[in-house]
Amino acid sequence: MAVPKILVTYRPPGAAIERLSRLGDVDLWTGDETMPRGDLLARVADAHALYSMLTDRIDEELLSRSPGLMVVSNMAVGHDNIDVAACSTRGIPVGHTPDVLTETVADTAFGLLIAAARRFREGVDYVREGRWGRWEPNLLWGEEIHGSTLGIVGLGRIGEAVARRAAGFGMRVIFTSRRAGAAAKNLAATQVDFAELLATADHIVIAVPLSEATHHMFDETALAAMKSTATLVNISRGATVDTDALVAALRSGRIGAAGLDVVDPEPLPADHPLLDLPNAFVIPHLGSSTARTRIAMANLAADNIAAALAGRPLPASVNPEVIPRPPPD
Ligand code: NAP
């Protein structure tokens, strides 16, 4: 095979680029912004492998312009930015990075839960604004975490890791899943339907993939069905929540608070109404952001490319039924 071209849309952390360079000619986007669509379409045209980020849209248009593409490898576990069915139809395996980020994202979910439910943002503002006078018995009461009921929407890898943490906080865990009889391994967690979860949970963590079924799952109706003291944590993808409805629910006190790693849109403009709300705790998609985890993700994404270019099954494939093509002579 002629030396393969590997298009990389953002410099990954660690030594992934060095690894990829041993596999082929790396075409690395080094611009400050997300690789513009026009550049992506132009530079993928003669690529054999695409090392993508969750901000890159891999769709029919892109695939139709890259006839030699042998693999798409996303440096994320979520793959809502990729038309996986279109890739499968073309025999293109799609790699992603499950497992290596699970525990780190679950930590983030718990951090957001505590920060939002216990009103840390208001506390930080209070100190910074010089309003901290005497010790106040009534100051900034939040909601209890320990002993409360946690509702997990989507008990997959990350949802289960959140459930394990909840057990340590003495929480009762309820969850939804499309599969009947899904269960958290070695954990007491009760499967309920979505309506019961909304009505019963003291706090909710969203851990589902973004799909047609989960898009705006938390709309005005769902938010209105939550407890008025409940905290909503989103570590999935921003569009599982209708942002306008969330702003209205937080502003009116219809729900207690929100802890958001992901929002719609991303990036959130600095003048977005969400950021004016004291009961919204928003961070910029930091779920997996530790050095060890991001480097592990970068390496796994490179491993996926190495396997596909060698004609071997990917270590982490979204569409494992697609067998990588043997490398041409
Ligand atoms: P996973 O293991 O595939 O878990 C997803 C779970 O969601 C599955 O157990 C699935 O169970 C459930 N599910 C899917 N559709 C559902 C629906 N309509 N209603 C209820 N449950 C549903 O994936 P994961 O590794 O835990 O990751 C989950 C998502 O988190 C990713 O897709 C990604 O979008 C997001 N994520 C975000 C970050 C971040 O930085 N914030 C990092 C990593 C991942 P059933 O099949 O039984 O329904």
Same domain, 276 and 296: no
Same domain, 144 and 26: no
Same domain, 151 and 73: no
What pLDDT, on a 0 to 100 scale, did the predictor assign at position 327? 72
What pLDDT, on a 0 to 100 scale, did the predictor assign at position 329? 62
Give the residue, out of 110, 174, 177, with the most ligand 1 atoms within 8 A of its beta carbon, to mutate for a pocket test: 177
- Our answer on whether the CB atom of 100 is closer than 6 Å to any ligand 1 atom is no
Same domain, 256 and 181: yes
Handedness of CA 132, 274, 283, 116 (dihedral sign): positive
- Considering only CA atoms, which residue is closest to atom 14 of ligand 1? 208
Same domain, 249 and 162: yes
Same domain, 109 and 222: yes
Q: What is the CATH number of the domain that holds 50?
A: 3.40.50.720
- Our answer on whether the CB atom of 155 is closer than 6 Å to any ligand 1 atom is yes
- Considering only CA atoms, which residue is closest to atom 15 of ligand 1? 208
- Our answer on whether the CB atom of 177 is closer than 6 Å to any ligand 1 atom is yes
Same domain, 91 and 202: no
| Cα distances (angstroms) measured from residue 93 to each of 50, 128, 234 | 11, 50, 29
Same domain, 140 and 260: yes
Kindly give the confidence (pLDDT) of every residue in the chain, 329 residues in length, as a single tens digit, with 9 standing for 90 and above: 689 999 999 999 999 999 999 999 999 999 999 999 999 999 999 999 999 999 999 999 999 999 999 999 999 999 999 999 999 999 999 999 999 999 999 999 999 999 999 999 999 999 999 999 999 999 999 999 999 999 999 999 999 999 999 999 999 999 999 987 777 667 889 999 999 999 999 999 999 999 999 999 999 999 999 999 999 999 999 999 999 999 999 999 999 999 999 999 999 999 999 999 999 999 999 999 999 999 999 999 999 999 999 999 999 999 999 999 877 66
Same domain, 93 and 129: no
Note down the domain range covering 219. 102-282
Within a domain: 189: yes
- Considering only CA atoms, which residue is closest to atom 36 of ligand 1? 236
Cα 197 from Cα 233, distance rounded (Å)? 14
Find the 137 Cα to ligand 1 centroid distance in Å: 40
Within a domain: 197: yes
What pLDDT, on a 0 to 100 scale, did the predictor assign at position 4? 97
What pLDDT, on a 0 to 100 scale, did the predictor assign at position 180? 74
| Cα distances (angstroms) measured from residue 142 to each of 28, 121, 122, 197, 313 | 47, 11, 10, 21, 49
At residue 33, what are phi and psi to the nearest 5 degrees? Answer: -100, 170
Find the 270 Cα to ligand 1 centroid distance in Å: 28
| Atom number of ligand 1 nearest to Cα 209 | 32
What pLDDT, on a 0 to 100 scale, did the predictor assign at position 52? 98
Find the 211 Cα to ligand 1 centroid distance in Å: 10
How many domains does the chain fold into? 2
Same domain, 138 and 267: yes
Q: What is the pTM of this model?
A: 0.97
Within a domain: 168: yes
The residue with tokens 């379409």 is 41
- Our answer on whether the CB atom of 143 is closer than 6 Å to any ligand 1 atom is no
Contacting residues for 121 by C-beta, under 8 A, at least 6 apart = 115, 278, 279, 280, 281
Find the 38 Cα to ligand 1 centroid distance in Å: 31
Within a domain: 267: yes
Domain boundary among 247, 263, 282: 282
Instruction: Tally DSSP H helices, then E strands, for the chain.
Output: 11, 12
Within a domain: 322: no
Same domain, 81 and 163: no
What pLDDT, on a 0 to 100 scale, did the predictor assign at position 2? 83
Active site residues: 237, 266, 285
